[in-house]
Amino acid sequence: MSNLTSQAPIEKESFLALLEGSFAGQKNFENTVVKGTIVAIRNDLAIVDVGLKSEGRVPLKEIQTKDQEEVRVGDKIDVYVERLEDKNGEVVLSIEKARREAAWDELEKAHAEGLLINGTIFGRVKGGFAVDLNGAIAFLPGSQVDIRPIRDISALMNILQPFKLLKMDKARSNIVVSRRSVLEESRAEARTELVSQLTEGQILDGIVKNITDYGAFVDLGGVDGLLHVTDISWKRINHPSDMLKIGESIKVQVIRFNKETQRISLGMKQLENDPWKGIEENYAIGSRHMGRITNIADYGAFVELENGIEGLIYVTEMSWTKKNVHPSKIVTVGQEVNVVILEVDTNKRRISLGLKQCSENPWQKFMEQHPAGSTLDGVVKNVTEFGLFVGVSEELDGMVHLSDLSWDKPGEEAMADFTKGQTITVKVLDVDFEKERISLGVKQLSVDTFAEASDKVQKGQVVTCTITQTTDKGLDVSVAEGLTGFIKKIDLSRDRAYQNPDRFSVGEKVDAKVLTVDRQSRKITLSIKAREIDEEKQALSEYGSSDSGASLGDILGAALKKKKGNDESAGA
């Protein structure tokens, strides 16, 4: 009895130690992946033995995979031990976490070795997208989706594709991946291979990647080339988007390739025949052709003569009579028009066209019907500060300069006799159909009395004139019908005391010497003073000499007495 009593505490202590040691070993299973065996299947649950004091339960749908048709008792599976027991005393197991742990192990290995890992973009999150890496969830930043920004990535969603691991933090369950790095690496490899084989003139297949105002970028399979807008088509296009779409597959030719900068210039039109070859034979200068208006600008209109061949009708070549109007007032886009070839520049690939040349030149027609010197009636269309615009036909206007309105009146004064809408008779002075100008005259319809009268008056001649007006500056006089003149105050007498205009009266006749005849201003200047000086010189030469002793008064008196006698004899 005493022996039993002494051994009991020892057995109790040994049992507790063994039990605690057993539990300590079991606790090491928590948060680990272990191998389990399916020992039973009840409804939609599998009972799994992982070698602990109790079994755990796992839903069948978590166990089944695409490669496994049916779950059977005795199957070995990997499970994650979350807790040794729950409130029912059962082990808490997770297939999903087991797979995640396995995925993490695979990811860490791939990250360490720099390998790519396959995954699927399945959702959008703040700043990027969520990627499923075979059970592990990773973050794909928006900047790492593609080499260039992509607005719509719906085409990339739910597709198994490779990613590069940029960052891993298992403690925080943080994984950052990049699709862009994969593309850049594959692009660099493809670019190196493609560039090594690239030659000018080579024809390649490409995909339109981006479109700008000046052209389109084409992906040639790892390397991009620029297709300039001028190399898309032989015909003129307003914008590359008129002929290309993003994602479209096209054939292009390598026009230029710079090995140093690796810049590639591409062309599409070079794959077609150049319509400009032999252009001068097909479009001879002066020949007429039918075309279609494709575009209208401020300076003219573009006309498509055939596919790839366009010409320009400059605004000045559109109408004989419509000046300073926008081309859209004359033609419209899509309109079929007849044009004349004015010039062909094969080097600059330009054709100058004329629209007005397809109709009769109204200026030339007018010149043939109304040569210089002919008269016609016209309507005053406009009165300006420099003359009158007169409508001489339904299309044409001519101009009467203010200097051609009247022989006698100044231009500004003569303008007052005309009003807009008035019908007047004009004389055609000149027609310049090249400059498209018609010069008309009104005064030319009457005789220029000044010209006729002035031909009878010579410079230095003494004439008898009638005073028509006295002013402070001198006298206005009438020399003959249609001929007027002016005697300045200083020329009224050789004696200053008698140089006063007030001593003369309107209607009085005076003899004066003609100083100038100005046909442009239609004025004659005269001088009484010059006449008196001439008479004095003549008297001195006839009635006296420097040594005769006669006074100037005696000489002039004798001369006047002789003149009076001659006048009386002439009167008798």
Per-residue pLDDT, 1? 41
Per-residue pLDDT, 555? 56
Per-residue pLDDT, 474? 93
Give me the half-sphere count of Cα atoms (radius 13 Å) on the Cβ side of residue 325.
Answer: 12
**Contact between residue 334 and residue 328 where contact means Cβ atoms under 8 Å apart:** no
According to CATH, the topology of domain 286-358 is OB fold (Dihydrolipoamide Acetyltransferase, E2P) (2.40.50)
Distances from the Cα of 182 to the Cαs of 160, 177, 197, in angstroms?
A: 14, 10, 23
Exposed, middle or buried: residue 401 (CB in 10 Å: 0-12, 13-18, 19+)? middle
Instruction: Summarize pLDDT for 484-506 with one digit per residue, the tens.
Output: 889 999 999 988 888 999 999 99
User: Other CB atoms closer than 10 Å to residue 312's CB: what's the count?
Assistant: 19
Residue 239 clears pLDDT 80, i.e. is over it: yes
Per-residue pLDDT, 13? 55
| CATH number of this structure's domain 449-552 | 2.40.50.140
Residue 266 clears pLDDT 70, i.e. is over it: yes
pLDDT band at 569 (very low <50, low <70, confident <90, very high): low
Residue 554 clears pLDDT 90, i.e. is over it: no
Per-residue pLDDT, 2? 43
Per-residue pLDDT, 355? 93
Per-residue pLDDT, 141? 92
**Contact between residue 52 and residue 91 where contact means Cβ atoms under 8 Å apart:** yes
Per-residue pLDDT, 552? 53
- Of the two residues 203 and 308, the one the predictor is more confident about is 203
Look at 74-88, 319-333, 509-523 and tell me which has the smallest mean pLDDT. Answer: 74-88
- Beta-bridge partners for 469: 476
Q: Give the CATH architecture of domain 30-97.
A: Beta Barrel (2.40)
**Contact between residue 402 and residue 396 where contact means Cβ atoms under 8 Å apart:** no
3-state secondary structure of 506: coil
- Beta-bridge partners for 375: 427
Residue 168 clears pLDDT 50, i.e. is over it: yes
* CATH class assigned to 114-183: mainly beta
Q: How far apart are CA 197 and CA 272, in angstroms?
A: 24
Per-residue pLDDT, 323? 80
Give the mean pLDDT of 338-365.
Answer: 90
Q: How far apart are CA 167 and CA 177, in angstroms?
A: 7
Q: How far apart are CA 42 and CA 28, in angstroms?
A: 29
Q: How far apart are CA 285 and CA 277, in angstroms?
A: 16
Q: How far apart are CA 96 and CA 74, in angstroms?
A: 20
Q: How far apart are CA 45 and CA 60, in angstroms?
A: 5
pLDDT band at 412 (very low <50, low <70, confident <90, very high): confident
Give the mean pLDDT of 369-395.
Answer: 90
pLDDT band at 399 (very low <50, low <70, confident <90, very high): very high
**Contact between residue 181 and residue 166 where contact means Cβ atoms under 8 Å apart:** yes
pLDDT band at 28 (very low <50, low <70, confident <90, very high): low
Do 286-358 and 198-271 fall under one CATH topology?
Answer: yes
Per-residue pLDDT, 6? 44
Per-residue pLDDT, 563? 58
Residue 291 clears pLDDT 90, i.e. is over it: yes
Per-residue pLDDT, 154? 85
Residue 452 clears pLDDT 80, i.e. is over it: no
pLDDT band at 10 (very low <50, low <70, confident <90, very high): very low
- Of the two residues 223 and 118, the one the predictor is more confident about is 118
pLDDT band at 439 (very low <50, low <70, confident <90, very high): very high
Per-residue pLDDT, 327? 93
**Contact between residue 405 and residue 414 where contact means Cβ atoms under 8 Å apart:** yes
In terms of average pLDDT, the best of 14-23, 191-200, 294-303, 357-366 is: 294-303
Residue 5 clears pLDDT 70, i.e. is over it: no
3-state secondary structure of 81: strand
The secondary structure element, H or E, covering residue 297 is strand 288-297
3-state secondary structure of 169: strand
**Contact between residue 53 and residue 64 where contact means Cβ atoms under 8 Å apart:** no
What is the spatial order of strands in the sheet that 92-94 belongs to? 56-59, 45-49, 32-42, 76-83, 92-94
Per-residue pLDDT, 338? 94
Structure tokens at 235: 């015909």
Q: Give the CATH architecture of domain 362-445.
A: Beta Barrel (2.40)
3-state secondary structure of 565: helix
Domains of the chain, residue spans: 30-97, 114-183, 198-271, 286-358, 362-445, 449-552
Distances from the Cα of 261 to the Cαs of 24, 226, 231, 254, in angstroms?
A: 68, 13, 21, 15
Give the mean pLDDT of 537-547.
Answer: 69
Q: How far apart are CA 398 and CA 402, in angstroms?
A: 13
**Contact between residue 94 and residue 53 where contact means Cβ atoms under 8 Å apart:** no
Look at 92-96, 320-324, 349-353, 461-465 and tell me which has the smallest mean pLDDT. Answer: 92-96
Q: Give the CATH architecture of domain 198-271.
A: Beta Barrel (2.40)
Residue 536 clears pLDDT 50, i.e. is over it: yes
Residue 387 clears pLDDT 50, i.e. is over it: yes
Residue 511 clears pLDDT 80, i.e. is over it: yes
